[in-house]
Structure 1
């Protein structure tokens, strides 16, 4: 770890940026709807575009990292994310915004895959590998926690659907959610509302939030460039030493260790001490376990994406009627509790079996949703429910993988099926929730 501190720090910084990109869309959704003159329902396609392109980018990044060096790919992806973040608040139509988010999603997917693979290459068969992976995903959670806080001072705090003459097929349900006209049940929302769509577009300052998040990618891009320069100089120095010692043949042999990235990714999901343990299972059992696990990940990763994406809009336009500041804090609290849950679940998972761990997660998530639904007018219930939901939701993914490993041998193909199931849920469920 000491010898590779620069690489580790750089990849963690990249994942910090990745986390901010994942969490920014929810708090800024209402303002982007105003800027593009789109209804809240139509804005669901923004979630779909980002999630679909992220899946494409993850696959594309895996192909690139097997054929080219990973760091130049990361540099291009980080620069692309910065540019698209700068362009997003300038979009004035939904289809242009969707295209920009799709380009951004591909870059985010490349970051997700390449940063993980680069760490596997560095720390393969090293005791520091588990620690660095945890640090990487903790930085992801930290970035997701920071993003709503950056956006909060610049958000308009208004739903522009009232200016677009939007009608809903489930009017009674919508009217039940909406606060009564002129009523602020919390006293937290004292911002002067715009009187027209043009005024709302003029008043929003959300562009500054995007430009601040885009600027965060500048030092990260420079860090990657410094890492490239360092590795190039270090490679030349080591090459001279190796050639001088007459071990050129060993260099060619060592390259074979990096030829099969899929195998490395498979070992990442194997439980400690079980690398060589073969789990006998019939084909039917393998298919059933894979399908059930993929379905579970489809549901809960989709629920995570939908909850994180829509909780801000719900807090602002529902009877809770939180102001933009407190709604942004709510989104940050959800992501913060999710990052905390991932950290806390590490020692707990060593004491509890995966089925018990998963059952605790499901019970905790159900209790959180019941608190939110049982007290729909209470801001405190919404905060408590969102934080509890994020905390227990955080470890469902690893618990599901661990439970699958108890029944079948999780190969690279099975891992791919599980990842696709989770990614599909992230694409579909936010759209369904937004169209309800």
Structure 2
């Protein structure tokens, strides 16, 4: 959600960040590693904190810390200071994503509106940065100031996060005394027979899914421009189409979730992503197919993560530690798979490696989900929570 789009904004502004600290791009590439390391550390810290303090309060404070880090980035003139703020942002983002994963099902109507607004809001910023990149200013003495206009993106995002943090404090004031009701009707935690195996498989599931999502969103512009020979403006539009369909479908999914089981939504997402990635492999040079399949692929990826959390919660309890495991898996996928694509693109420029990765990860997730379902419904497991019971739990914990 918010944090994923923050990651996406870093790409279009990376050159200006290097210019701001008077370094070459290659000399500050370690800020990605620093932020990713902080993100994993924040995910692990969040897994502990969300089990011992109010989640809304912790989300509010984490969002303020992220906003302060965003405010500071444009004023960093030293690479070491920039890296330090990137690490701190990574930590707070890890805490935020762990908390969002923990609350996504239990507080559907309090989390999702913020998520959808942030998806559309920051997707617009990515589009603005992309247009600015393909419409450069003329060579003048004021190019330095002009090129650093992108730094305003961090100010705007920080302001948005700062405002949203007050909404979480409002939620805390309304339902701060409500305890986490992650128990079955008997007062005992619902634990699947193969709980650890399910958590590990979903860890791998999110590793592949998030890695493919970030890789596609990061490299589709380069792929369209260099491999499919699209004009830069069209390539930027293709990038925005992916994130736009992603955000729009996630918004509609709020309504679909009220009448459709999470497992059904996952199956539809897997079908759409596998079919669209297969067509992207077969027709990677066909511009119409690239536009259509990119839109379908973005829409198919939109609800996989929240549906996966909701699906597992039907069979077993998701604690802060469990949510942290999922976020760490997603973070590792976000680190490894895009880096692998970037490494291989330089060595095999004439191959549609991005589309191969999309097909491979879609096939992997399509295979692993039936295995998870088989383990979740194995004899001796508690079984799936009835829809009515899950709705009552959600209503009891909303606090409205």
Q: How does the TM-score come out when normalised to structure 1?
A: 0.61
Please name the residue that 1:299 is paired with.
208
Q: What is the CA-CA distance between 1:47 and the residue it aligns to?
A: 4.4
In 2 relative to 1, CA 281–289 (structure 1 residues): closer, same or farther, beyond 3 Å?
same
Distance in 1, Cα, partners of 2:164 & 2:307: 34
Q: In structure 1, which of residues 144, 147, 160 is the aligned counterpart of residue 122 of structure 2?
A: 144
1:217 aligns with 2:158: yes
1:286 aligns with 2:195: yes
In 2 relative to 1, CA 31–213 (structure 1 residues): closer, same or farther, beyond 3 Å?
closer
In 2 relative to 1, CA 74–33 (structure 1 residues): closer, same or farther, beyond 3 Å?
closer
1:132 aligns with 2:110: yes
Distance in 2, Cα, partners of 1:31 & 1:376: 31
User: Which stretch has the larger CA shift, 374-383 or 27-36?
Assistant: 27-36
1:428 aligns with 2:336: yes
Q: What is the CA-CA distance between 1:144 and the residue it aligns to?
A: 3.2
Q: Is the 8 A contact 2:217 2:239 kept in 1?
A: yes
Distance in 2, Cα, partners of 1:415 & 1:221: 24
1:57 aligns with 2:57: no
Distance in 2, Cα, partners of 1:64 & 1:413: 9
Q: What is the CA-CA distance between 1:393 and the residue it aligns to?
A: 0.8
In 2 relative to 1, CA 59–303 (structure 1 residues): closer, same or farther, beyond 3 Å?
same
Q: Is the 8 A contact 1:298 1:425 kept in 2?
A: yes
Aligned pairs, how many?
337
- Alpha-carbon deviations, 1:333-374, whole Å to 9, x = none? 212211222222333344444443322211211222233332
Please name the residue that 1:171 is paired with.
none
Larger radius of gyration: 1
Distance in 2, Cα, partners of 1:381 & 1:289: 36
Distance in 1, Cα, partners of 2:250 & 2:214: 16
Unaligned ranges ≥5, structure 1: 1-14, 158-189, 236-253, 268-272
Distance in 2, Cα, partners of 1:19 & 1:146: 14
1:312 aligns with 2:299: no
User: Which stretch has the larger CA shift, 389-398 or 403-412?
Assistant: 403-412
Q: How does the TM-score come out when normalised to structure 2?
A: 0.66
Q: Is the 8 A contact 1:48 1:428 kept in 2?
A: no
Q: What is the CA-CA distance between 1:133 and the residue it aligns to?
A: 1.5
Aligned CA RMSD, in angstroms, stands at: 4.5
- Alpha-carbon deviations, 1:306-328, whole Å to 9, x = none? 222222232333333331x3333
User: Which stretch has the larger CA shift, 340-349 or 384-393?
Assistant: 340-349
Q: What is the CA-CA distance between 1:383 and the residue it aligns to?
A: 2.6
In 2 relative to 1, CA 313–291 (structure 1 residues): closer, same or farther, beyond 3 Å?
same
Distance in 1, Cα, partners of 2:277 & 2:9: 23
Q: In structure 2, which of residues 62, 72, 97 is the aligned counterpart of residue 83 of structure 1?
A: 72
- Alpha-carbon deviations, 1:366-403, whole Å to 9, x = none? 22223333233344333322221111111112332344
Q: What is the CA-CA distance between 1:113 and the residue it aligns to?
A: 5.6
Q: What is the CA-CA distance between 1:410 and the residue it aligns to?
A: 3.9
Q: Is the 8 A contact 2:125 2:153 kept in 1?
A: no
- The residue correspondences of 1:13-28 to structure 2 (distance < 5 A) are 18=3, 20-28=5-13
In 2 relative to 1, CA 373–101 (structure 1 residues): closer, same or farther, beyond 3 Å?
farther
In 2 relative to 1, CA 289–425 (structure 1 residues): closer, same or farther, beyond 3 Å?
same
